[in-house]
Amino acid sequence: MSIYDTLNEQQRQGVFTTEGPVLLLAGAGSGKTRVLTHRIAYLIEEKDVNPYNILAITFTNKAAAEMRERVDKLLGMDAGGAWIMTFHAACVRILRRYIERIGYANSFTIYDTDDQKTIVRQILKKMDLDPKQYKDRAVLSDISRAKDELKSPDDMELESGANYHAKMVAQVYREYQRQMKANNALDFDDIICRTVELFQSCPDVLDYYGERFRYIMVDEYQDTNMAQFKLVSLLASRFRNLCVVGDDDQSIYKFRGANVRNILDFESVFPEAVVIKLEQNYRSTQNILDAANSVIKNNNKRKDKSLWTDKGSGEKIAYNIYNTAYEEAYGIVSDIKRRAAEGNAYNDFAVLYRTNAQSRALEEKFVELGVPYRIYGAVNFYARKEIKDVLAYLKTIDNARDEVAVRRIINVPKRGIGQTTIEKAAAYADENGMSFYAAVANGRDIPSLSKATVGKLDSFCTLISAFRAKAGQLSIKELISDIVESIKYEEYLAEDDEPDEIADRMSNINELISKAAAYEETTDMPTLSGFLEEVALVADIDNMDENNNVVSLMTLHSAKGLEFPIVYLAGMEDGNFPSYMAISSGDQSDLEEERRLCYVGITRARQRLVLSMAKQRMVRGEMMLCKPSRFIREIPAELLAESGQGIRKPASFSNDAKVKAAESAMRAALPWNRPAFSMQDMKKGAPQVAASAEELGYTEGDRVKHVKFGNGTVQKIVSGGRDFEVTVNFDTAGVKKMFASFAKLVKID
């Protein structure tokens, strides 16, 4: 019996169609990884393709490792030279070899978000920009978006026009890139962008990789951005044997730059493409799939497909309505505890929610009821202070041009090197066109530094030089141990931390040492640069331990690619899910992305799906009345069932008489036919809504004033049904969208 006989007809078609562009529309749970692995095996085993000529790109290290393992098992041997890895890992491998062609050293460092924020904060301070108006996170988001679209600082500045705020962000972007290059560092967006730049500026390099990768496969294609699309297009331009696998219904990362048009327009870019639909689901029951199908069909911009299964109808979908978010949390956790007592393992359960803020009430109830849990997407292991400290030492040893790393550890542990000394060294480095570390190493040449301070800087550099010499003799595992011991790091922690916290931090460092040992054992030619690269490219979800018997709590975005026997979708209320911003933006694509997120959440469940909402939820200190999510209303009633929870629970967990009275009054109103409003609105009266655009007192093009954002120009006025949505380009705050009744804009001359 052939290994391909276990595939269904559409899967076999996806495996055997090897020449030319192919679009595999793979619905949730339809076995796309199975198709990809069998396709690679078929190319090597049946088509005699050299593994060296195959590139398979995934989005996570975990998915790449699983794919390689399955390919090796199918072949009964190592797939050898085939590249089966993430976008970033593939690009880093290319850049390590050729990045010198575009002005970087091949020992470049990869910066994480904290490193990026450090650079941006320094730039904002240097440019004397108000951090309240130019928040580091928002500026980095703008820079990332520009890179996703392959826009340079000059492009961004050109597009800013007369918008002062946007023009300043463009200048920050320009300085950010200058400093990144001076530090010989790349951020995650740079890894893709610089590879595209390399291919476009060095045709011989593109020719080499275009000739090598004759067969290219890309998983999760719906999550690609413009830069990734360009990268793949360049690589596939010679042979056009490009197979992309994805599901437009699961495109949920627009905020990260993902462009659903890449998959929707694939046939426009590759007119000769063969389109194959994988619609048979191997994960969920039919009732769960029918619910998912009924929700997603309300999106207009999608490829038509409908999931089905031969696993049977299964249970109906439980739908629970609670009075408050606390009751909802109690209901979910108590149900999990009851089912666990009946024989389910805790890791059978997942609780998914739209925003991280929803986890607080859930956590309280998990603790109260003694149910073990873990929140995923919280603090990444590699973002912890002690880990970043040790990694900063390793980065400085490996690449002394990395200013962020050097700054982090120059006074860790305390050496009497203060911020003033650091700023003087940084200024000297700027003035003389040298790296920060070089300025520190030449501290005696900085006139304003005292002899004692120069001695402290020299001691630090001597320490780094000693570690650098040891790095050539010791394993990475041994080097980390030597660093921690030599600098007396545990004693340093004792200055500020409690004993339990010190033990936890040292335990984390021991885990890092174990990681280094594992890297050295599984890598043919381990290097310090390679270890730092692997650490930098690890995602938190890759560390998920499926054998850990705890309930998983995570946002819907974090749940992508996972599955659980029993799934709870909490907070199914309009304004929460879909979000208020998506409802009020006036952009249909925002609401469609929220609907795709709901589709992803529903299809995480294998056997049982529980949807829940709270009629009242505390938002920013105010109790809000909520109405059911429109996504609930899109599910046929015959698929839903009450489970004996929800409104049958006690009316309130609060002992406060005033809160109980307010809850009772709101429950009596049950205004499901109008938007949620706050208790403050009930007391003071809701804002007055204009009956017509003329009553607003201003029109498009007028100058207006806002109490918080100041002066701006009205760009657009759209009727939102119950209110007018106004888009204003403020002089200092940028473009904002708001409802007219709440904005209270005043026309100015």
Where in the sequence numbering do the catalytic residues fall? 32-33, 219-220, 250, 604
Rounded Cα distance between 405 and 158, Å, is: 33
For 200-224, b/e burial (b = at least 16 CB within 10 A) is: eeeeebbeebbeebbbbbbbbbbbb
Phi, psi of 737 (to 5 degrees): -110, 135
Q: What is the DSSP string of 413-464?
A: S--S--HHHHHHHHHHHHHHT--HHHHHHTGGG-TTS-HHHHHHHHHHHHHH
For 379-411, b/e burial (b = at least 16 CB within 10 A) is: ebebebebbbbbbbbbbbbbbbbbbbbbbbbbb
Q: What three-state secondary structure class fits 224?
A: coil
User: Six-digit token pair at 744?
Assistant: 């209270």
CA separation (Å) from 497 to 205, 385, 500, 512, 674?
Answer: 51, 12, 8, 20, 52
The Cβ of residue 318 has, within 10 Å, a number of other Cβ atoms equal to: 19
Rounded Cα distance between 369 and 373, Å, is: 11
Rounded Cα distance between 519 and 499, Å, is: 30
> Do residues 285 and 607 touch, judged by C-beta distance below 8 A?
yes
User: Six-digit token pair at 502?
Assistant: 């010190």
Residue 403: closest CA among 413, 395, 411: 395
677: alpha, beta or left, given left = phi > 0 and alpha = psi -120 to 50?
beta
CA separation (Å) from 378 to 374, 449, 555, 650?
Answer: 9, 42, 10, 32
Distance between start and end Cα atoms, the chain: 82
Residue 330: closest CA among 377, 357, 367: 367
Rounded Cα distance between 87 and 223, Å, is: 12
Phi, psi of 625 (to 5 degrees): -80, 140
Strands (E), 301-366: 317-324, 349-353
CA dihedral angle for residue 536, residue 541, residue 546, residue 551, rounded to 10 degrees: 140
Could you tell me which residues come within 8 angstroms of residue 12 by beta carbon, excluding any fewer than 6 positions away?
A: 4
Half-sphere exposure of 534 (CA within 13 A, CB side): 17
For tokens 């859930």, what's the residue?
A: 362
